[in-house]
């Protein structure tokens, strides 16, 4: 176990002004608090904080961060308190230790909703001071290095959490070395067979390729030396996890990989980077499409470098990275590189918040973290589980993605995940631009919105004020911002539709009950119906969560039952009767019709009439239905939401109350109509027919019409057993990536 003086010596290698008193005090305090505690390996528990501190010294971090590494488990695992740590070490260190304690208590692999909330807490904890994340990553790295001592049932969960959360976070913060080792250690646990197989293949390659690698390094050194460029050149081998992911992504075997080995050129300044690039390109032919300039356009995790691939010595591909020593330091340590000890006073190096000034001003990675946290702060009061799942999905999406860089026509740089399209670009510019986009020009040519963008593309978004986000976009975009905006727009549109339907239902119901309807009356009943606003009430009525009867009763509590609530204008005391249609599908409740007819004569007339369903949309069991009786037409059954009912508003004598009377033993189908927007691609129509057939339903009629851009509108008349089956068909179609939208039609 490392001694006090050894820890101080490690820090003195890069910080001659080390605060020995602080480190010694933290060492003694941590050792005393952890006492005789032991780890799963049997080692003294304090050996773990010491190893965490050692990792932090390798990253050349400041004295306070190393002290936090020594103390990071004291509040969690001993009787130490925040007050006590503040007293001995100051509030800055106390705050960092408490932040780490909160993270330690989070279960980031719990059920999805809880996982989302815990990920929020994690990001909030590290946003105040990024050193909390750096210490946590060092803590996780040492735990992963000693994971073989942990019981198997815990081992896999810890490895999954590391792979899914901590490794991507390290990468997003630019800490490549940390990310790669965390990935590799997780990979070894989660896919042991693949890990061992790749390691075995790499072992064989090292024996045969070592001489070749050394020869390439010497060739590059001589080339740059002859060009008058001072440089260091190193060969490197890709890690097993990186190799495995490339094989999975490209669906290729190990033998087909051409870039298992890469070479890194380190120079003193930016100018030398481009000089070295020119010398190499003059000597060896470049591989088209393999040059990337991350110096002029850095990645959002602060990564800067020149990438190129050439046909080098012995006519083999050589992958090269060219960068300055400072860029290399940032590549290895990411945001931690901005907190490295500098030979300046703490007043010059640190701001009042405890964060280095350089980090606050220049770190793209830290800016991403702050931007993500700002979205958390904007979380609305009515957010639900679905919103939480959106958050975790979108955050993970951004953690894992590599980037491409595109430009607006005015030259504004937009960074997007690899695989992004013009829809992502539009939402990256502004949410309003995304919501109203109808097309795009890429490098001056009109292209489909779903075209994948490449580095350097200039993208112009074509907009229309009448446009609304199409639901299928949700399955086509690659950015969390775009996906969240599309889901929000879908939710708002559905709510508006429900509000309009709810108001239509209530107006008709109140009219039939001969009671006044007004917005003021609705507002007065909101609290009694446990709704937050008038619009909320209307939406719940439209969704069927609140019945019209309940609203009427809340406004007019003296109405005791449905029979008295709902008397038609033409009702008279001549009695009521029941009539069932011959097919037994619908039962009519027929009020007395006064002077116009008696019940017996009405029954006689109905017995000779055809009962049919609404011609444009039909009705299915489960719908709330009404019937219209016309002398020379017969009885037509409409769902209550049918727009066609509006033409009978001034003819109340034609309205009949009806209800379903279905025999469960008869498996009859009933008519319905849906409109489906699909991508104009092979297999789209087959998908629709398969979904409908899988629900034991039948297609009566199908008509295709060309829609906007790459989409086709399909109008389908189908027959289904009931409303539940119809909703299942609509839901399953709506989840397909080939379907832009699907709605039921009641015309």
Fold observed for domain 670-744? Alpha-Beta Plaits (3.30.70)
Give the whole-angstrom CA distance, residue 191 versus residue 351. 44
> What pLDDT does residue 709 have?
57
Give the whole-angstrom CA distance, residue 624 versus residue 322. 70
CATH number assigned to the domain with residue range 203-339, chosen from the 4 options 3.40.50.80, 3.30.460.10, 3.50.30.30, 3.40.50.300: 3.30.460.10
Domain ranges in the chain with CATH number 1.10.3210.10:
4-192
List the beta bridge partners of residue 285: 311
DSSP state of 324: E
Q: Is the pTM of this model over 0.75?
A: no
Number of H helices, E strands in the chain: 30, 21
> What pLDDT does residue 229 have?
93
From 515, 609, 500, select the one nearest 554 (Cα to Cα).
Answer: 515
Instruction: Concatenate the DSSP letters of all residues of 474-512 into one string.
Output: GGT---HHHHHHHHHHHHHHHHHHHHHHHHHHHHHHHHH
Contact 429, 313 (CB under 8 A): no
Contact 676, 533 (CB under 8 A): no
Q: How many CB atoms lie within 10 A of CB 717?
A: 19
Q: Hey, is 658 helix, strand or coil? A: strand
Instruction: Give average pLDDT by consecutive 10-residue segment, the chain, 747 residues.
Output: 88 89 93 90 90 92 91 90 92 88 68 58 70 89 91 86 84 85 93 90 80 87 93 89 83 75 92 94 88 85 89 81 91 68 40 39 61 54 49 55 76 80 92 91 89 86 87 82 85 82 80 81 81 85 77 75 40 34 46 40 55 84 81 79 80 73 72 86 84 89 74 88 86 79 82
Contact 331, 321 (CB under 8 A): no
Give, to the nearest 10 degrees, the angle between helix 4-12 and helix 63-71: 150
Domain ranges in the chain with CATH number 3.30.460.10:
203-339
Give the whole-angstrom CA distance, residue 478 versus residue 338. 30
From 184, 187, 189, 178, select the one nearest 55 (Cα to Cα).
Answer: 178
> What pLDDT does residue 226 have?
93
From residue 178, alpha-carbon distances to 167, 328, 360, 595, 677 in Å are 7, 14, 22, 89, 46
Q: What is the pLDDT of residues 301-323, one digit of tens each?
A: 788 999 999 987 767 788 899 99
Domain ranges in the chain with CATH number 3.30.70.260:
670-744
Average pLDDT in the chain? 79
Give the whole-angstrom CA distance, residue 251 versus residue 614. 53
Torsion angles phi and psi, residue 166, rounded to 5: -75, -40
Please provide the distance, in angstroms rounded to a whole number, between the alpha carbons at the two ends of the chain.
Answer: 79
From residue 447, alpha-carbon distances to 144, 407, 422, 458 in Å are 47, 16, 9, 12
Q: Hey, is 637 helix, strand or coil? A: strand
Range 4-192 classified under CATH 1.10.3210.10 = yes
Burial level of 178, CB count in 10 A (0-12/13-18/19+)? buried
Range 624-628, long-range pairs (CB < 8 A, 24+ positions): 624/544, 625/586, 625/658, 625/659, 625/660, 626/655, 626/656, 626/657, 626/658, 627/586, 627/588, 627/655, 627/656, 627/657, 627/658, 628/654, 628/655, 628/656
């Amino acid at each position: 176990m490392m001694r006090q003086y050894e820890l101080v010596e490690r820090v003195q290698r890069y910080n001659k002004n080390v605060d020995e008193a602080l480190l010694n005090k933290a060492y003694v305090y941590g050792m005393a608090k952890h006492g005789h505690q032991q780890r799963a390996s049997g080692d003294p528990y304090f050996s773990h904080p010491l190893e965490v501190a050692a990792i932090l010294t390798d990253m050349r971090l400041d004295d306070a961060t190393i002290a936090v590494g020594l103390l990071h488990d004291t509040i969690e695992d001993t009787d130490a308190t925040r007050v006590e740590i503040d007293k001995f070490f100051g509030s800055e260190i106390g705050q960092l230790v408490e932040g780490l304690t909160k993270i330690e208590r989070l279960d980031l692999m719990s059920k999805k909703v809880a996982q989302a909330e815990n990920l929020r807490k994690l990001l909030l904890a590290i946003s105040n001071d990024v050193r909390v994340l750096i210490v946590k990553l060092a803590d996780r790295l040492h735990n992963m290095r000693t994971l073989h001592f942990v019981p198997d049932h815990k081992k896999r969960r810890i490895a999954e959490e590391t792979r899914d959360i901590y490794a991507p976070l390290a990468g997003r913060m630019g800490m490549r070395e940390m990310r790669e080792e965390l990935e590799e250690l997780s990979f070894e646990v989660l896919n042991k067979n693949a890990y061992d197989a790749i390691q075995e293949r790499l072992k064989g390659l090292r024996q045969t390729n070592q001489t070749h690698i050394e020869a390439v390094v010497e060739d590059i050194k001589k080339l740059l030396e002859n060009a008058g460029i001072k440089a260091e050149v190193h060969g490197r081998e890709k890690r097993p996890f990186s190799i495995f992911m490339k094989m999975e992504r490209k669906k290729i075997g190990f033998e087909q990989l051409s870039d298992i080995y890469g070479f890194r050129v380190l120079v003193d300044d930016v100018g030398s980077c481009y000089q070295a690039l020119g010398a190499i390109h003059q000597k060896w032919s470049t591989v088209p499409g393999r040059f990337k300039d991350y110096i002029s356009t850095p990645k959002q995790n602060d990564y800067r470098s020149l990438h190129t691939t050439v046909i080098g010595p012995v006519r083999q591909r050589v992958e090269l990275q060219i960068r300055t020593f400072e860029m290399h330091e940032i590549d290895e340590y990411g945001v931690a590189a901005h907190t490295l000890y500098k030979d300046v006073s703490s007043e010059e190096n640190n701001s009042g918040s405890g964060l280095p000034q350089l980090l606050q001003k220049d770190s793209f990675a830290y800016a991403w973290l702050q931007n993500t946290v700002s979205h958390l702060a904007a979380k609305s009061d009515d957010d639900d589980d679905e919103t939480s799942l959106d958050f975790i999905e979108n955050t993970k999406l951004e953690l894992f993605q590599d980037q491409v860089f595109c430009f607006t026509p005015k030259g504004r740089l937009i960074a997007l995940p690899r695989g992004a399209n013009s829809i992502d670009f539009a939402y990256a510019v502004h949410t309003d631009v995304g919501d109203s986009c109808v097309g795009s020009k890429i490098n001056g040519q009109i292209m489909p919105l779903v075209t994948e963008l490449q580095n350097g593309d200039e993208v112009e978004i074509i907009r229309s004020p009448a446009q609304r986000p199409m639901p299928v976009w949700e399955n086509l975009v690659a950015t969390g911002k775009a996906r969240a905006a599309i889901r929000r727009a879908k939710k708002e549109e559905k709510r508006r539709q429900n509000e309009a339907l709810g108001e239509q239902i209530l107006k008709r119901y109140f009219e039939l009950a001969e009671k006044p309807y007004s917005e003021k009356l609705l507002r007065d009943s909101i609290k009694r119906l446990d709704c937050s606003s008038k619009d909320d009430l209307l939406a719940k009525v439209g969704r069927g969560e609140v019945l019209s009867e309940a609203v009427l009763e809340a406004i007019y509590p003296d109405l005791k039952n449905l029979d008295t609530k709902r008397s038609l204008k033409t009702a008279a005391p001549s009695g009521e009767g029941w009539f069932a249609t011959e097919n037994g599908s619908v039962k009519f409740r027929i009020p007395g019709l006064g002077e116009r007819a008696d019940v017996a004569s009405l029954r006689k007339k109905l017995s000779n009439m055809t009962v049919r369903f609404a011609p444009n949309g039909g009705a299915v069991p489960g719908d709330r239905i009404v019937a219209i009786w016309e002398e020379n037409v017969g009885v037509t059954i409409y769902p209550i939401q049918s727009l066609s009912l509006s033409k009978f508003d001034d003819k109340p004598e034609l309205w009949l109350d009806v209800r379903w009377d279905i025999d469960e033993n008869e498996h009859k189908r009933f008519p319905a109509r849906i409109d489906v927007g699909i991508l104009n691609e092979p297999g789209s129509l087959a998908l629709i027919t398969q979904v409908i057939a899988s629900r034991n339903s039948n297609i009566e009629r199908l008509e295709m019409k060309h829609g906007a851009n790459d989409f086709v509108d399909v109008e389908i008349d189908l027959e289904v057993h009931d409303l539940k089956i119809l909703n299942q068909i609509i839901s399953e179609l709506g989840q397909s990536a080939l379907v832009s939208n699907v709605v039921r039609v009641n015309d």
